[in-house]
Amino acid sequence: MGTTSTPRIAVVGAGLGGAAAAALLQQAGFKVDVYEQSAEFSRLGAGIHMGPNVMKVFRRLGIEDRLNQMGSHPDFWFSRDGQTGDYMSRIPLGEFARKEYGASYITVHRGDLHALQIDSIQEDTVHFGKRLESVDDSGDDVNLTFSDGTSVRADIVIGADGINSKIREVLLGQEEPTYSGWVAHRALITGDKLAKYDLKFEDCVKWWTEDRHMMVYYTTGKRDEYYYVTGVPHPELDFEGSFVDSSREEMFAAFEGYHPTVQALIESTDSVTKWPLKNRNPLPLWSQGRLVLLGDACHPMKPHMAQGAGMAIEDAAMLTRCLQETGLSDYRTAFELYEANRKERASRVQQVSNDNTWLRTQEDPAWVYGYDLYEQSLKSGNPV
Ligand code: FAD
């Protein structure tokens, strides 16, 4: 494929951030293609929270109603002592969130959300099986070469390629992310397994002790699928890959002494995976030349605030706003604006998420959930 005369944008990575960027930019009238290394996406066993700040972006994309139908709508985020069950915080969500923050707070299956996002991208513009291998920014345009030997040219390239981003590597050199010393276990439990217990399984609850936790919530509005995700210290990274199988035995050992509700969840677990939690320090730059980063490629974090994808999606929305403001030909100004209007918020969320303090005690989450990206006046940026 050669250079086309129509200016166009290449998004590398069709994760939650890249998919949002592609759909929002297309909606704004830009010509966009997405290149994703996976051959297809499967419904991996994991849930995800989407706060009102993100739902406002999905409103713009036209998928808010469908997500509201799909997801579970917890009335509260509860934090509870993992052993005694005492409540440490009760953060109002539900109707309160809709009134105070301007949109719902939902928990949903990650694969269902992702499928909906992919569907919102124009047909034939998501290219699967395209693993980016090299990038050449000539100054006039960018040439991307994929592992299947094909190449494409684009006017600008958005690196939405996650924590091991190739685009980040081009901008900043090769550097492995740091291992945080924590792992996350993830498991889905069908609702019928829980019926036999005389216990209350709350819509959204985080069980905490000093050095570990288990976050639990429903992934469907029908409450037929319950999900837990943990944070457990695991000092040595003694396995490879983005996840490995764990076991019920490992879970019982990690959560010994925890509340009977947590024990019931472990007992009801058929399969559980274990994910190393990786990280990077805030990056010194977000763009260079015709290349720009978003989401985990730019500011990965430990997932304890349930806002990593939220920040990727907010990035996508802000980058779209900035490109609309300047036009594609003045992408340099757009990138400056983008960084100026994202860095502070994304870095703050990254810090709080890494600290794992979010909503442990009664605090006001309005600065995260009340944020409406489309209501922000744009701060001017510094030349990048
Ligand atoms: P990714 O989702 O990593 O997507 C990157 C994409 O790029 C992938 O599809 C990948 O295949 C593709 N790619 C990579 N390299 C290449 C290449 N060379 N060529 C082509 N394609 C490539 N966030 C929340 O908001 N709420 C939550 O509740 C939440 N819970 C979490 C729980 C856990 C245990 C973890 C680990 C994370 C959680 N997160 C949560 C964080 C969230 O998953 C990430 O922040 C989010 O997925 C980042 O999106 P992204 O699009 O930037 O990157």
The pLDDT of residue 73 is above 90: yes
Atom 27 in ligand 1: residue holding the nearest Cα: 306
Distant-in-sequence, close-in-space partners of 249: CB < 8 Å, separation ≥ 6: none
For the chain, the average pLDDT equals 95
Beta carbon of 110 within 6 Å of any ligand 1 atom: no
Mean pLDDT along residues 143-164: 97
> 109-123 pLDDT, tens per residue?
999 999 999 999 999
Confidence of residue 99 (pLDDT cuts 50, 70, 90): very high
Q: What's the gap in Å between 300 CA and the centre of ligand 1?
A: 9
Tell me what pLDDT residue 275 has. 97
Q: What's the gap in Å between 18 CA and the centre of ligand 1?
A: 9
Mean pLDDT along residues 44-66: 96
Q: Which numbered atom of ligand 1 lies nearest the CA of 184?
A: 34
Q: Tell me the C-alpha distance between 88 and 362, whole Å.
A: 7
Question: Percent of the chain at pLDDT above 90?
Answer: 94
Best residue among 48, 205, 301, 304 to mutate for probing ligand 1's pocket (most ligand atoms within 8 Å of CB) is 48
Question: Dihedral angle at the C-alpha atoms of 54, 56, 59, 61, nearest 10 degrees?
Answer: -60
Phi and psi at 79, nearest 5°, equal: -110, 130
Q: Which numbered atom of ligand 1 lies nearest the CA of 20?
A: 51
Q: Which numbered atom of ligand 1 lies nearest the CA of 295?
A: 52
Tell me what pLDDT residue 7 has. 64
Q: Tell me the C-alpha distance between 289 and 157, whole Å.
A: 10
Q: Which numbered atom of ligand 1 lies nearest the CA of 300?
A: 45
The pLDDT of residue 233 is above 70: yes
Mean pLDDT along residues 126-145: 96
Question: Are 161 and 254 a contacting pair, CB within 8 Å?
Answer: no
Beta carbon of 35 within 6 Å of any ligand 1 atom: yes
Q: What's the gap in Å between 296 CA and the centre of ligand 1?
A: 6
List the catalytic residues.
Answer: 49, 217
DSSP string, 295-331: GGGT----STTS-HHHHHHHHHHHHHHHHHHH-GGGH
Tell me what pLDDT residue 1 has. 42
Tell me what pLDDT residue 349 has. 97
Q: What's the gap in Å between 309 CA and the centre of ligand 1?
A: 7
> 300-341 pLDDT, tens per residue?
999 999 999 999 999 999 999 999 999 999 999 999 999 999
Confidence of residue 3 (pLDDT cuts 50, 70, 90): very low
Q: What's the gap in Å between 373 CA and the centre of ligand 1?
A: 21
Written as six digits, the tokens of 107 are: 């928990």
Q: Which numbered atom of ligand 1 lies nearest the CA of 49?
A: 28
Best residue among 24, 36, 106, 174 to mutate for probing ligand 1's pocket (most ligand atoms within 8 Å of CB) is 36
User: ipTM beyond 0.95?
Assistant: yes
The pLDDT of residue 161 is above 60: yes
Beta carbon of 37 within 6 Å of any ligand 1 atom: yes
The pLDDT of residue 5 is above 80: no
Q: What's the gap in Å between 125 CA and the centre of ligand 1?
A: 20
Tell me what pLDDT residue 383 has. 63
Mean pLDDT along residues 91-108: 98
For residues 91-113, one letter each, b for 16 or more C-beta atoms within 10 angstroms of the residue's C-beta and e for the rest, the string is bebeeebbeebbbbbbbbbbbbb
Atom 14 in ligand 1: residue holding the nearest Cα: 161
pTM: 0.96
